[in-house]
């Protein structure tokens, strides 16, 4: 179990209600359908799956990439978005940038393979998305409140509507100095929605079409996407919520991995450096329990179809 503690004055969530620990040491564990179903239901209920003994290993030649100097200066991440995709956000000689891209590609392969091994029923439905490397220290990042990931939030994409598709993420703390990655983890998604939905109006008629026409979004926003972005923004903009909402602070050790549905788990990155992250998408219909999803939860609370 990761170390957990709480700042004075904040409403505490018991760590046992947030984290499921799995003592895996290899990236391709034996697939057991019953175990996979049980773990998947824990994830789908909004828990974080923590693998403290599973490490993503850098090869000796790759250790030089454990530096923020590889950032181009135009963002906080270095990333690829596809199997043969060009590396974005990196600076350096072409040959070395290509080696860094190969490192991210290897992590992408191992992270996606882990999800397929752990949850074989998900495998046919998974869609791989961005692979990111975050070499910058969390505390040194500057951003507007909307982009400030040190504020509790659930993930939603302003320019990429997903129409209820789940956002599943694999994180690996690759810090070479033994420093943990510290998160705050918040209250259950349904509690967030009940608290904040009354403050989110319905989308203006024609607004989804206009956003596409202006190239602000890549496809039309559904009302679900509108509400998810509203929850994201209301959480981040409300400092009273940030301080007083139920939460726990969780320390993920160096050389560990954790997995969660980041559109459902309220989270905030507070400290640490050197993290790899793989995003995968999953249709709601591929879940073991679709009723636990943000889409079904919001439809139940609003009393209407949102897609």
Question: Tell me, what's the pLDDT at 3?
Answer: 47
In a domain, 35, yes or no: yes
Cα 42 from Cα 29, distance rounded (Å): 18
Cα 25 from Cα 32, distance rounded (Å): 16
What are the residues whose beta carbons fall under 8 Å from the beta carbon of 253, sequence distance 6 or more? 2, 52, 173, 180
In a domain, 173, yes or no: yes
How many other CB atoms are there within 10 angstroms of residue 290's CB atom?
Answer: 15
Task: With CA atoms as reference, report the closest residue to 278 among 132, 138, 149.
Answer: 132
- Relative to beta strand 166-173, strand 256-261 is antiparallel
Question: Tell me, what's the pLDDT at 17?
Answer: 76
Cα 158 from Cα 165, distance rounded (Å): 14
Domain count across the chain = 1
In a domain, 307, yes or no: no
Residue whose token pair is 């060009």: 86
Cα 74 from Cα 297, distance rounded (Å): 37
Structural domain boundaries enclosing 120:
3-302
Question: Tell me, what's the pLDDT at 82?
Answer: 76
Ranges of residues in the chain with a pLDDT under 50 are: 3-9
CB 114 within 8 A of CB 279: no
In a domain, 165, yes or no: yes
Question: Tell me, what's the pLDDT at 123?
Answer: 94
Question: Tell me, what's the pLDDT at 143?
Answer: 77
Question: Tell me, what's the pLDDT at 32?
Answer: 65
The whole-angstrom distance between residue 283's C-alpha and the CA centroid of its chain comes to 16
In a domain, 148, yes or no: yes
Task: With CA atoms as reference, report the closest residue to 85 among 66, 68, 108.
Answer: 108
pTM passes above 0.85? yes
Task: With CA atoms as reference, report the closest residue to 278 among 68, 79, 28.
Answer: 79
For residue 217, the SS3 value is coil
In a domain, 160, yes or no: yes
């Amino acid at each position: 179990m990761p170390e957990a503690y709480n700042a004075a004055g904040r409403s505490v969530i018991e760590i046992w209600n947030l984290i499921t620990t799995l003592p895996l040491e290899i990236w391709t564990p034996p697939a057991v359908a019953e175990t996979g179903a049980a773990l998947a239901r824990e994830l789908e209920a909004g828990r974080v799956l923590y693998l403290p003994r599973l490490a993503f290993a850098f090869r000796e030649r790759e250790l030089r990439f454990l530096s923020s100097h590889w950032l181009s200066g135009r963002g906080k991440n270095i990333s690829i978005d596809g199997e043969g995709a060009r590396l974005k956000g990196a600076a350096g000689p072409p040959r070395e940038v290509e080696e860094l891209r190969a490192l991210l590609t290897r992590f992408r392969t191992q992270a996606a393979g882990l999800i397929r091994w752990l949850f074989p029923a998900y495998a046919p439905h998974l869609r791989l998305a961005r692979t990111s490397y975050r070499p910058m220290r969390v505390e040194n990042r500057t951003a507007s409140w909307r982009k400030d990931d040190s504020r509790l939030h659930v993930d939603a994409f302003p320019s990429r509507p997903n129409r209820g598709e789940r956002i599943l993420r694999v994180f690996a703390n690759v810090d070479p100095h033994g420093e943990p990655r510290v998160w705050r983890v918040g209250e259950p998604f349904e509690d967030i929605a009940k608290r904040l939905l009354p403050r989110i109006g319905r989308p203006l008629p024609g607004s989804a079409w206009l956003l596409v026409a202006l190239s602000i979004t890549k496809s039309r926003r559904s009302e679900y996407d509108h509400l998810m972005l509203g929850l994201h923004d209301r959480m981040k903009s409300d400092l009273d919520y940030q301080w007083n909402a139920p939460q726990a602070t969780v320390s993920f050790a160096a050389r560990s991995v954790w997995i969660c549905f980041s559109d459902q788990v309220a989270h905030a990155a507070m400290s640490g450096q050197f993290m790899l992250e793989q995003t995968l998408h999953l249709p709601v219909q591929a879940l073991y329990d679709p009723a636990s999803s943000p889409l079904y939860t919001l439809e139940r609370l609003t009393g209407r179809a949102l897609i």
